[in-house]
Structure 1
Amino acid sequence: MTMPRKTRARLGMLPLAAMVLLTAGCGTQRAGDTADAYRRLHPTPTGISTPSTPADFPCRGESPEPTASTAATTPSSTEPPTDHYAENHGFKVPIPLHGQSRCDGLTAVGRIKSALEPLRQRGDFAPDSVRTALTSLGYSAEKVQTYQDGSAGVGFLIDIGASPWCVEGTMSSDSTKADAFGGYPDGTGCEPPSGGH
């Protein structure tokens, strides 16, 4: 018995159509289904956490009460800023220190303030005097910058080079202020970057 040509052609198309359907799938699996199935088969163990920043703890000489975080003092809004100023100038915000680096930074700030206090009490606000006081603490002369800050004050910046961290501050007749930080997001040292990304 012979089959007409059209029937043979249709029978030849049947395996091809089955192959197309098997390859294409039924359309019931979505892109995220594979990841969801993996998570169901391999759940994350409970009790394991990965903190986004190292834990802070009270440093020597510091009260055990937690200090207010900068996130708590920063005004929050559910609406993004329309001028993008904060976003565009984020590269100028110093990187905060955490954990042992924060304690080391606080220790360095305390030493620096103690070394500069006699100069402040004498009214010696010459950048060279401040530089000499800071290098006498063991900081490299190449890593210490001092400059006139206003008419009756002096500013300073020290690239400590460890951890990495930096100390920046000012000294005036009113007080000596200093802060330790970990550089800048788009910078390579203690100098604020001149432009963002």
Structure 2
Amino acid sequence: MRISRPNYVAACLFLGTALSLTACGQQHTGATAADSAPSRSGSLSPSPTGPARGNVEPDGHDGAPHYRENNGFKIPKKMSPASEEAARAAAARIEPVLKRLWKAKTWDTERVRTELLKLGYRDEGPDSEEGRGTLFVRAHDPGSNPGASVALNVGRDACVTAFVQSTNYQVKVNGRFLETGCFEPRGGH
């Protein structure tokens, strides 16, 4: 069977386009035949892993390229040493209360708020005295683990964030988030 020259050229162009499109968007980092060929010393050469050199930010999470650029809203601001110390002191006061509530299997928002207000924190809006010492307690999303999330503004730049839920509790200290204050952002914009 003989294929005419125009049909031959068209078939070659079609195959070339199809082959190049099937690899479109794929990043090949695994071993290839050239990678697995023995070197002069007889050992296998390593296969490349991770992002290409030059694309990694020095402080990027797990070496991911553009991590800080894409996830800046999730990165808390720095705390001053004085604010961090004050936040750690507040966390030390809050932790035993949440531990007691967790052991009593009590994690509804009203009870958590009531118990934390007994420590002397204010349950006021975020504009009161620039939000210092302001306590926020909110219920977990429906469909998630039942419990309450807690945020306490400490100074202008520090927070105590915590939760108590059916499975566990946690208290930690962090800087404020750019868009959400003390609570860690849930998703992107």
TM-score by length of 2: 0.51
- Aligned counterparts of 1:115 and 1:191: Cα–Cα separation in 2: 20
Q: Which residue of 2 aligns with 1:93?
A: 75
Runs of 4+ in 1 over 6 A off after TM superposition: 193-197
1:178, distance to aligned residue in structure 2 (A): 1.7
Q: Name which of 96, 107, 112 aligns with 2:94.
A: 112
- Aligned counterparts of 1:75 and 1:183: Cα–Cα separation in 2: 23
1:188, distance to aligned residue in structure 2 (A): 8.2
Q: Which residue of 2 aligns with 1:145?
A: 136
1:87, distance to aligned residue in structure 2 (A): 1.1
Q: Which runs of 5+ in 1 are unaligned?
A: 1-70
- Aligned counterparts of 2:92 and 2:75: Cα–Cα separation in 1: 22
SS in 2 for 1:168: strand
Query: Contact 1:158/1:168 (CA < 8 Å) preserved in 2?
Result: yes
Q: Name which of 148, 159, 178 aligns with 1:154.
A: 148
Query: Contact 1:125/1:152 (CA < 8 Å) preserved in 2?
Result: yes
Q: Name which of 95, 118, 125 aligns with 1:136.
A: 118
TM-score by length of 1: 0.49
1:132, distance to aligned residue in structure 2 (A): 0.8
Q: Which residue of 1 aligns with 2:160?
A: 167
Alignment of 1:9-158 (within 5 A): 74-76=61-63, 81=65, 84=66, 86-97=68-79, 99-142=81-124, 143-149=134-140, 150-158=144-152
Give the aligned CA root-mean-square deviation in angstroms.
Answer: 3.3
- Aligned counterparts of 1:114 and 1:180: Cα–Cα separation in 2: 15
Identity %: 29
1:146, distance to aligned residue in structure 2 (A): 1.7
Query: Contact 1:121/1:173 (CA < 8 Å) preserved in 2?
Result: no
1:92, distance to aligned residue in structure 2 (A): 2.2
SS in 2 for 1:111: helix
